[in-house]
Amino acid sequence: MADDESYLLLLLSDGNLPTGSFVASSGLESYVKHGFLRSKSTEGVMDFIRSSVESYAHTALPFVTQAHKAVSEANFEGTRCRDRVLHLDSLYDVMTLNHVARRASRAQGVALLTLFSKGFSRPSWLAVEDAPESRVSEFIDDLKLQVRLEATPGHLPICWGAMTAALNLSLDRSLYLHLFLHARGLLSAAIRMNVIGPYAAQQLLLHAIKPLVEGCVKHGYLPIPEKGDIAQVEGPTNTWPLGEILATRHDLQHSRVFNS
């Protein structure tokens, strides 16, 4: 199993996967254009990445966790699994007040479902009748259909959790990789904006991003309150209001490289 998971990690971390992340800066472009980057240095970029990753972890990781558990524990059978995933998706949509982030999350979410259907599902000429993979493919295809019918938004954390559970990737590794890809996407955007060089980005990935991601994953975030639970008032939250405001102003820029 460890070897299977290692191979999956190599596939999912491929920068060439068509997931739509290449056109997203997650607020970095607006942050720079509004003059909040102290200087074109690794320290300035890392300040943004640290705040963005920590806030995203507080917001998204509880949803990734619950979506992964909903799919893996239900074994893709019955409507309870789908209803739980759709409920999480609807809740995340309500919590994402930033229309720019909401748009990018939905685009990348459905891209993940399409990637599974076209890139990770077993080819028809290798298909085995009544194999577990058939139930998995049917579940993902049904979820993608619900998104296409606009019955559910199809946000990135929900689709990531569902897809990695479908691929039998463990929850811990799913959370770690999801947060790592978010941080790597920010560095990729910084390179294309010419605020940091590729060598400096690799230094940050090895020496700064690694402990940051590990710390966020090990932190342990408050669970999503159950429907009707008024006793628990805390849960997923945005911890960086400035980043949220600047990301919301992304579409107000006269010229833009990224769509978020």
pLDDT tens string 167-225: 999 999 999 999 999 999 999 999 999 999 999 999 999 999 999 999 999 876 656 66
What is the Cα–Cα distance from 225 to 29, expressed in whole angstroms?
Answer: 33
Find, among 260, 208, 209, 248, the residue nearest to 28 by Cα. Answer: 260
- Residue 108: HSE in the Cβ half-sphere, 13 Å Cα cutoff: 26
Tell me the per-residue pLDDT of 106-143, one tens digit each, with 9 for 90 and over: 999 999 999 998 888 777 777 665 555 667 888 888 99
pLDDT of residue 220: 66
CA-based R_g, the chain, Å: 18
pLDDT at 24 over 90: no
Q: Which residue has the higher pLDDT, 153 or 4?
A: 153
pLDDT of residue 132: 57
What is the Cα–Cα distance from 188 to 24, expressed in whole angstroms?
Answer: 10
- The lowest-confidence range among 3-12, 99-108, 198-207 is 3-12
Contacts of 96 (CB under 8 A, 6+ apart): 102, 105, 155
pLDDT of residue 129: 58
Pinpoint the alpha helices (H) of 149-224.
Answer: 156-166, 171-192, 198-204, 210-219
Above pLDDT 90, what percent of the chain? 60
What is the Cα–Cα distance from 189 to 201, expressed in whole angstroms?
Answer: 10
pLDDT of residue 230: 45
The model's confidence at residue 17, banded by pLDDT at 50, 70 and 90, is confident
Q: What is the mean pLDDT of residues 242-252?
A: 92
Average pLDDT, the chain: 87
pLDDT of residue 260: 82
pLDDT of residue 135: 76
Find, among 215, 179, 190, the residue nearest to 56 by Cα. Answer: 179
pLDDT of residue 231: 46
DSSP state of 22: G
Contacts of 100 (CB under 8 A, 6+ apart): 27, 247, 248, 250, 251, 260
> Cβ distance 191 to 204 under 8 Å?
no
Q: Which residue has the higher pLDDT, 221 or 256?
A: 256
Contacts of 207 (CB under 8 A, 6+ apart): none
DSSP string, 121-153: SPPGGG--TT-HHHHHHHHHHHHHHHHHTTSS-
